[in-house]
A and B are shown apart, each in its own frame.
Chain A
Amino acid sequence: QSALTQPASVSGSPGQSITISCTGTSSDVGGYNYVSWYQQHPDKAPKLMINDVSNRPSGVSNRFSGSKSGNTASLTISGLQAEDEADYYCSSYTSSSTYVFGTGTKVTVL
């Protein structure tokens, strides 16, 4: 199972919006509405930000939103803040009843 493809880095100024893409295949991202997104700060455990493509868990800022079109899912962070600077990973359920993560995206707040 190959990792889902994410851009290595995305940057933006405070207050701006950025979007991170996550591209897979019809056997994972495109085949199921089971895409999730995780935020990871240095030396910390990952934190769930979005599940099931667009559902935001309780306690997660409404500045985070998710969507999907075909084999590509996206995470949008609006009103970018300094605390959003972190690594972000997407994940998807697959047709093999397994899971796959994305390659990861480093978000930098300029």
Chain B
Amino acid sequence: EVQLLESGGGLVQPGGSLRLSCAASGFTFNSYAMSWVRQAPGKGLEWVSAISGSGGSTYYADSVKGRFTISRDNSKNMLYLQMNSLRAEDTAVYYCARLPRHCSGGDCYGGYFDYWGQGTLVTVSS
């Protein structure tokens, strides 16, 4: 059974930092790209970042580029999101999600979010 369990959320002041973690189990972790998706209170889903199975390729939404860093440790089946220079508008529930993509000739693209964690709440406020 695929399981994703996020942790690390909490209250942080504007300008502060936080690192989210996602523990994965039930599948071959390094065979899948992974992603972070967030949802502000009462709002819709927003894609944040993605990382390839090897960790060699990373992708970011413009809203977090330069402030957030996605990474993974395939030896521990762990996904991370380092969040720096946090702003009030980063307040949200952050979900990690598995991202199966289509791969051909070494290039991967497309995909969808087939399994999601339960989410962890990040609140940025003074």
Instruction: Using CB atoms and an 8 Å cutoff, list the residues of chain A in contact with chain B.
Output: 1, 3, 32-34, 36, 38, 40, 45-48, 51-52, 57, 89, 91, 93, 97-104
Contacts and interface: CB of A to CB of B under 8 A. Distances in A.
Contacts of B116: 45-47
A30 to B, nearest CB: 14
Contacts of B112: 34, 36, 48, 51-52, 91
Interface in B88-126: 95, 102, 109-119
Interface residues of B, number: 24
Contact of A51 (B35, B50, B114): B114
A98 B46 contact: no
Interface of B: 35, 37, 44-47, 50, 59-62, 95, 102, 109-119
Contacts, number: 65
Contact of A57 (B59, B109, B111, B114): B114
A102 B114 CA distance: 17
Rank and list the top 6 A-B pairs by shortest CB-CB distance, nearest first: A34-B110, A36-B112, A51-B112, A104-B44, A45-B116, A99-B47
Contact of B45 (A34, A38, A52): A38
Given A45-B116, A101-B44, A104-B44, 4 more contacts: A91-B45, A93-B110, A98-B59, A99-B111
Contacts of B50: 98-99
A17 B47 CA distance: 29
A40 B119 CA distance: 13
A13 B56 CA distance: 49
A100 B111 CA distance: 12
Contact of A48 (B44, B95, B114, B119): B114
B106 to A, nearest CB: 14
B47 A100 contact: yes
A38 B116 CA distance: 11
A45 B35 contact: no
Most buried by A among B45, B50, B102, B115: B45
B62 to A, nearest CB: 7
